[in-house]
Amino acid sequence: MGKIILTGDRPTGNLHIGHYVGSVKRRLEIQNNGDYDEFYIMIADSQALTDNFDNPDKVRNNVLNILKDYMACGLDPKKVTFFIQSEVSELTELTYYYLNIVTFNRLKRNPTIKTELALRNFEGTLPVGFMCYPISQTADITAFKANIIPVGVDQLPMIEQANEIVDRFNSIYKCNVLKRCEPVLPENEASYRLPGIDGDAKMSKSLGNCIYLIDDSDTVKKQVMKMYTDPNHINVSDPGRVEGNMVFTYLDCFCTNEHFKKYYPEFNNLDELKSAYQNGGIGDVKIKMFLFNILDELLTPIREKRKELDSMDDEYFLNILKEGTLKARSVASKTVLEAKEAMKIKYFE
């Protein structure tokens, strides 16, 4: 069996550096080593509507925005099939059939759903569609028989639920139409979920605690200078804490020994810097400048590429999505036919 990779994001805003280490970096590695048969990146606009149904402009405006962010990072439409979820109606069709083989109780036990419900305060207004998005996500994956899903840790319960649906479907309808899949996580644990610059577990626009891929140098510097460090590290000579100190959390994700040679030659690696900081004698501005240099080196080419893309017509990007969507549709429609045959609801040749 070949390697079929599928992943996606909700188009609800610009990508930030948490997205970069949490998923984009892995996608670039896969794309650049070329070790796959198909690689799909889906812009999950239908899924974005499950909790933004009353804000269609936001979702719509972010579809091209997110594509441009991907491309600015180096994801290449010649190597990756980009498509729009809502334009592949086969995904909705499969979702409808999968709804029957998942219990409501199982959905309520999905840990990601649980966390999101707690965050979003739906109370009496919880849309049925929101609860069902793990099922629709299973449709996204299985329609392409994707077996490798690069995602963040928050998506692991989705993969687990997808595999349950695959097994149930194949067993109930005595077939082998759907394929199981495996997640691929970021390479180091520090990158699983990058906190906001204030230490809040979630990076979000409303909290103002993000660094976006397209932020200019000044904004990046300002955000880094605002980072939560160690409130008891008052004088440079005081011993400092590394745990819970956002500068070190970010350095864990972004810094390499090469960066030390270039920007901080007094140390060879992060372990050395950490122990010096813990012993006292290293000021916060110093480590913040180091982090800023690393981030700015990463973000400068992305920012420049994004500017170049912004000068191009929407038409160009819509064509990329149209081409990808046509391809996605033709693959998904084959799976739908096979699934319908297994469910004995295929009537005509």
With contacts defined by CB under 6 A, name the span among 4-12, 30-38, 163-171, 324-332 that binds ligand TRP: 4-12
Which helix (DSSP H) or strand (DSSP E) does residue 298 occupy? helix 284-310
* Footprint (CB under 6 A) of ligand TRP, residues 154-213: 155
Check binding of 140 to ligand TRP (CB under 6 A).
yes
- The count of residues in the chain is 349
* Residues 42-81 within binding reach of ligand TRP (CB under 6 A): 42, 44, 47
Q: For ligand TRP, which is the closer residue by CB, 196 or 240?
A: 196
Q: Is 110 in the site for ligand TRP (CB under 6 A)?
A: no
Nearest CB to ligand TRP, comparing residues 163 and 229: 163
* DSSP notation for 257-291: HHHHHHH-TT-SSHHHHHHHHHHS---HHHHHHHH
- Cβ-contact 280, 237 below 8 angstroms: yes
CB of 278 to ligand TRP, least distance (A): 36
Q: Is 72 within 8 Å of 302 (Cβ atoms)? A: yes
The answer to whether residue 141 forms part of the interface with ligand TRP (CB under 6 A) is yes
- Could you tell me the smallest distance in angstroms from the CB atom of residue 91 to ligand TRP? 9
Binding mask 210-229 for ligand TRP (x = CB under 6 A): --------------------
Minimum CB distance to ligand TRP, residue 181 (Å)? 9
124-136 in b/e form (b: 16+ CB < 10 A) is: eeeeeebbbbbbb
Instruction: Answer for the pair 49, 16: CB distance below 8 angstroms, yes or no.
Output: no
Site for ligand TRP in 287-306 (CB under 6 A): none
Of 149-157, 164-172, 306-314, 340-348: span binding ligand TRP (CB under 6 A): 149-157
Q: Does residue number 149 form part of the binding site for ligand TRP (CB under 6 A)?
A: yes
Contact (CB, 8 A) for 244 and 199:
yes
Q: For the sheet with 4-9, list strands across it.
A: 81-84, 38-43, 4-9, 148-150, 182-184
Q: Residue 24 gets which letter from DSSP?
A: I
Among 4, 5, 8, 335, contact with ligand TRP (rule: CB under 6 A): 8
Closer Cβ to ligand TRP, 140 or 215, answer by number: 140
Which of 4, 10, 88, 290 binds ligand TRP (CB under 6 A)? It is 10
Query: And the tokens for 192?
Result: 């699983």
Size of the site for ligand TRP (CB under 6 A): 14
Q: In this structure, are residues 93 and 237 in contact, taking their beta carbons and an 8 Å threshold?
A: no
* d(C-alpha 251, C-alpha 224), whole Å: 11
**The one among 64, 151, 220, 298 contacting ligand TRP by CB under 6 A:** 151
Cβ neighbors of 42 (< 8 A, separation 6 or more) are: 6, 7, 8, 82, 83, 84, 85, 140, 328
Query: In angstroms, what is the minimal distance from the CB of 257 to ligand TRP?
Result: 32
Quote the least distance from Cβ 50 to ligand TRP, whole Å.
10
Residue with tokens 């904004």: 219
Task: Report d(CA 142, CA 136) in Å as an integer.
Answer: 10
Least Å distance, CB 49 to ligand TRP, is 12
CB 343, min distance to ligand TRP, A: 22
7 touches ligand TRP by CB under 6 A: yes
Closest separation in Å from C-beta 117 to ligand TRP:
15
Half-sphere exposure of 182 (CA within 13 A, CB side): 2
The residue ranges that bind ligand TRP (CB under 6 A) are: 6-10, 42, 44, 47, 137, 140-141, 149, 151, 155
